[in-house]
Amino acid sequence: ASFPLLCFRSPLVTPLIFVLLLQAPFTQPSTITRPNFVLLLADDLGIGDVGCYGNDTIRTPNIDRLAKEGVKLTQHIAAAPLCTPSRAAFLTGRYPLRSGMDAVNDYRVIFWNAGSGGLPPNETTFAKILQHQGYSTGLIGKWHQGVNCESRNDHCHHPLKHGFDYFYGMPFTLISDCQPTETPEMDRAFRRKLWLSTQMIGLITLTAVLGRLTGLISVRWKTLTCLAGFSLLFFISWFSSYGFVRYWNCIMMRNHGITEQPMVTDRTTSLILRESVSFIERNKHKPFLLFLSFLHSHTPLLTTEKFLGKSRHGLYGDNVEEMDWMVGQVLDAIDKEGLKNTTLVYFASDHGGWLERQEDKRQLGGWNGIYKGGKAMGGWEGGIRVPGIFRWPGVLPAGTVIDEPTSLMDIYPTVVHLAGGAVPQDRVIDGRDMLPLLRGAVARSEHEFLFHYCGVHLHAVRWHQKDTGAVWKAHYVTPIFSPPGAGACYDRGFCPCFGEGVTHHEPPLLFELSQDPSEAKPLSADTEPLFNTVIRRIDRAIEEHRRTLTPVPEQLSVSNVVWKPWLQPCCGTFPFCWCDKEGDN
């Protein structure tokens, strides 16, 4: 009876079979061809800077288009409020203190290309797993996870050692020192102290010499010579590094080779865009992973003339609008190569906007919308809640908004599983596969608890109570804003993680984020009947979490972050490091 049915042909049945075949990707994700991945990560972008997250003055039509055609996450959380640790967590799917990439001191990020700290070689990034799965993997833009360990060319922390086949960009991060016309940004307060100390030692030396010449001071010339030598050595000891930040840190590399030292900032944006589009074109016939790690919107806000003065938010707004244009160019390249339906595109920021970044009353940092705090604040939402957008036509439902807690660490297992790989079983992976949530197969995030660190110091914990949908957040430590009530640490430039600049709370401050996302009204045992129950449950979760932590070498220790001349990447013969291979071309 079945044979005549199989052989039967009619104008109605053939189109019906064709339609059912087209629908298979929606219903059978296991049959989907392994997608390409384009991961777009902004630098220092606030959640309030993007149109689809409520900004109606900065124009971001291309990022907004991604959200319209895909899934927008409204509770997407960075694992750290600063670049280096947040990106380490993103790449490894693990809280940064598990890899030693969070700070025990005030040096909370990698400070020099010539430091010895960085993402440890024994960490397995998602790029490394995808490389083993046959993907072409490329990183374009910012790295900020270290370069060398013991010698100038060992490249132990380099992207090519962490699973990327191709790298073009900055091994460090963009800073104002890279722009000769800007006020130096790196370690600004410490540099002022060093200059002052140098002037004082020099003044003492000069006074002693004059006193000896006029006979007012009885001191031996040998002593004066030693004092002068000490003054000179002290000056050289710090000026050899801080005096040449632009040459030591502001460099561009292609794979292991340096292409610009120092970088020529006028063409950086066009080169990064060119490299990104070229990578897509070169790899269109095989599965690929492109991690486009923007230098936007970190100071000094490199912006081409085409976008200067075009926004309603000064240079910062111009810079964000240019980044959005770059997103559009990458999306156009995907469309041009016919890859739209086979490419998963993801857009996010590494942490919240930098509220304190101002220069001559110009606001050079981002805006975090209704959320309290910003960059460097490990507990408050403004430091860690970031944009999160996915697009994969035909697989992820367009125009979807998800308000469940998710993490940048979730990219790791999501990408690995879609590529047909397996996450490592010999270590704790803190991220969770998001595909069921993104596709609407489940209603709740797999995260019950998220731990919010500032350096290695636990500042807050989020409890996603799945039976009720409540999202409780307990703050054990908060920064002291300066001036008081300002919402940031304007007097310091960054809010600290520990010491005199923070307040310890016992009992902790408690908020219910689904009711109070701005964290404006802390609850108490008098106002919230479940207060003690919630705090006890969170305290128990902290104990369980801490049992999963094991001691590891501190990558951001003082000895690892200081400048070491023998580790300095150099285009030439050290210390004569200069080249412009892009200009030569």
Convert the pLDDT of each residue in 437-484 to its tens digit.
Answer: 999 999 999 999 999 999 999 999 999 998 999 999 999 999 999 999
Query: What is the C-alpha separation between 571 and 247, in angstroms, rounded?
Result: 10
Question: What average pLDDT does this structure show over 521-525?
Answer: 97
**61-69 helix and 314-336 helix, angle to the nearest 10 degrees:** 50
| 144 noted as active-site residue | yes
**268-282 helix and 314-336 helix, angle to the nearest 10 degrees:** 20
Q: Is 13 exposed, middle or buried (0-12, 13-18, 19+ CB in 10 A)?
A: exposed
User: How many alpha carbons lie under 13 Å from residue 65 in its C-beta half-sphere?
Assistant: 13
Question: What average pLDDT does this structure show over 64-71?
Answer: 98
Burial letters 152-175, b for 16+ CB under 10 A, else e: beebbbbbbbbbbbbbbbbbbbbb
**How would residue 519 be classed by pLDDT, with cut points 50, 70 and 90?**
very high
Q: What is the mean pLDDT of the chain?
A: 93
Question: What average pLDDT does this structure show over 416-437?
Answer: 98
From the CB of residue 341, how many other CB atoms can be counted at a distance below 10 Å?
13
CA dihedral 559, 564, 566, 572 (to 10 degrees): 150
Query: What is the C-alpha separation between 542 and 532, in angstroms, rounded?
Result: 15
0.85 surpassed by pTM: yes
Task: Provide the pairing of β-strand 385-391 with 362-363.
Answer: unpaired
Among residues 144, 155, 452, 464, the one annotated as catalytic is 144
Among residues 76, 83, 157, 351, the one annotated as catalytic is 83
Tell which wins on pLDDT, 17 or 301: 301
pLDDT tens, residue by residue, 46-61? 999 999 999 999 999 9
Contact 311, 161 (CB under 8 A): no
pLDDT at 2: 35
Query: What is the C-alpha separation between 230 and 227, in angstroms, rounded?
Result: 5
**DSSP state at residue 50:** S
Candidate from 78-82, 215-219, 277-281, 469-473 with smallest mean pLDDT? 215-219
Residue 26 predicted with pLDDT over 70 = no
- Candidates 333, 490, 357; CA nearest to 45 is 357
Question: What average pLDDT does this structure show over 133-150?
Answer: 98
pLDDT tens, residue by residue, 192-243? 899 899 999 989 888 888 888 888 888 888 888 998 899 899 999 899 999 9
Residue 389 predicted with pLDDT over 50 = yes
Question: Identity (one letter) of the amino acid at 483?
Answer: P
